[in-house]
Amino acid sequence: MYHYLIGPAVGAVIGYITNDIAIRMLFRPHQAKYVMGIHIPFTPGIIPKEKARIAGSIGKAVSENLMNREVLEKSLLSPDMLAKMSDAIDEFVATQSQNDETIEQFASHYLTQDDLDAMRQNVTSGVVKMISGKLQDSQLGDNIAHMAIEHVMEKTRKSVVGLFGADKFVAGLALPIEKLLAKHINEILQNNSHQMVEGLVTDESEKLMGMTMSQLVTGHDEQVAQIKSGIQSAYKTIITEHLPRILQDIDISTIIEQRINEMDMNEAEAIILDVMKKELRAIVWLGALLGSIMGTLNAIL
């Protein structure tokens, strides 16, 4: 009777122990061991010994199969992700509609005062440069002069003076007066447009930064909808057109490989065991089961 029990029991113990040792030898020892200068076989463990190759393989597998363009694009542009983005924007707008902070106060949560001042200066300078450049366009002075003369001619024709033919006299002088007027207007714009525009833009910038967030979003449903559409469109463009370059610049494969190679083996072992603890334990018990079966067959036969 004991003959039939001892065989399976011994087989189970041997199977359990051998599988447990085999799993431990995957990780340990972390360094090669020597006795009297002779290298002990199977040291270091398989994973420490092949760490560089494993790191390269994992990095390549992740970048080619788990974090490639197709997978990320499908995930980032999924209906669920776009719906979450839409809900997030709506939630932000709803929150800001109750926010009495000024735009400057709100921005200060994310930017330093120096950054805010620099951003305001850059935006103001850019707007001033753009508008003053348009004002200095010679055609603007010509157009203003032409419209002024046309207005005078129209008033003259409709006035009492026009009944005595004065409008014809004025018409003869219209062209040289228009050219002279255009010249003076262009000179004024060339010399003063930057100063005039800068004052207006600076004043409007101060007013804008002094608005509350609730004033910014409340009652501007159409503009908010346009901004929301613009954000969603920009997001889709970034994913579809710029994602390949981003992935290439990031080089996920190399980052993963370097990170694994930089890991201490104790850290790497802890991570692997934490992820596969249940599976590795199942292998140990499977060894016990197979050992028990072999012991039973040996006892019967």
Residues 177 and 278 in one domain: no
- The confidence band for 161, taking pLDDT boundaries of 50, 70 and 90, is very low
Indicate the residue among 146, 181, 211 that finishes a domain: 211
Residues 204 and 118 in one domain: yes
Count: domains in the chain: 2
CB 11 within 8 A of CB 294: yes
CA distance 213 to 95: 9
252 or 150: whose pLDDT is higher? Answer: 252
- Domain residue limits at 8: 2-69+250-300
Cis check for the bond before 44: say yes or no (omega within 30 of 0).
yes
- Over residues 85-114, the pLDDT tens digits come to 999 999 999 998 899 998 888 888 888 888
Residues 43 and 132 in one domain: no
- Any idea what DSSP says for residue 161? G
- The confidence band for 162, taking pLDDT boundaries of 50, 70 and 90, is very low
- Over residues 273-290, the pLDDT tens digits come to 887 888 888 888 888 888
Q: SS3 helix, strand, coil % of the chain, rounded to 5?
A: 85, 0, 15
Residues 109 and 170 in one domain: yes
Residues 106 and 48 in one domain: no
| Residue 173 falls inside a structural domain | yes
CA distance 135 to 47: 71
| Residue 234 falls inside a structural domain | no
Residues 200 and 255 in one domain: no
| Residue 7 falls inside a structural domain | yes
Q: Residue 185: pLDDT above 60?
A: yes
| Residue 239 falls inside a structural domain | no
Q: Look at residue 163 in the predicted model and tell me its pLDDT.
A: 46
CA distance 186 to 139: 9
- Over residues 220-260, the pLDDT tens digits come to 888 888 988 998 888 888 888 888 887 777 788 888 888 88
**What predicted TM-score, i.e. pTM, was given to this entire model?**
0.56
Residues 135 and 197 in one domain: yes
Strand, coil or helix: 1? coil
Please report, to the nearest 10 degrees, the dihedral formed by the alpha carbons of residues 215, 221, 222, 225 taken in order: 110
Residues 186 and 108 in one domain: yes
| Residue 232 falls inside a structural domain | no
User: Quick one: average pLDDT of 195-208?
Assistant: 76
**Half-sphere exposure of residue 278: CA atoms within 13 angstroms, side-chain side:** 1
212 - beta bridge partners?
A: 102
Across the chain, what does the average pLDDT equal? 79
- The confidence band for 49, taking pLDDT boundaries of 50, 70 and 90, is confident
Q: Helices 113-135 and 166-210 sit at what angle, rounded to 10 degrees? A: 170
Residues 43 and 141 in one domain: no
CB 148 within 8 A of CB 181: yes
| Residue 229 falls inside a structural domain | no
Identify which of 106, 125, 126 has the alpha carbon closest to the alpha carbon of residue 116.
106
- The confidence band for 164, taking pLDDT boundaries of 50, 70 and 90, is very low
| Residue 17 falls inside a structural domain | yes
- Any idea what DSSP says for residue 110? T
| Residue 59 falls inside a structural domain | yes
- Any idea what DSSP says for residue 114? H
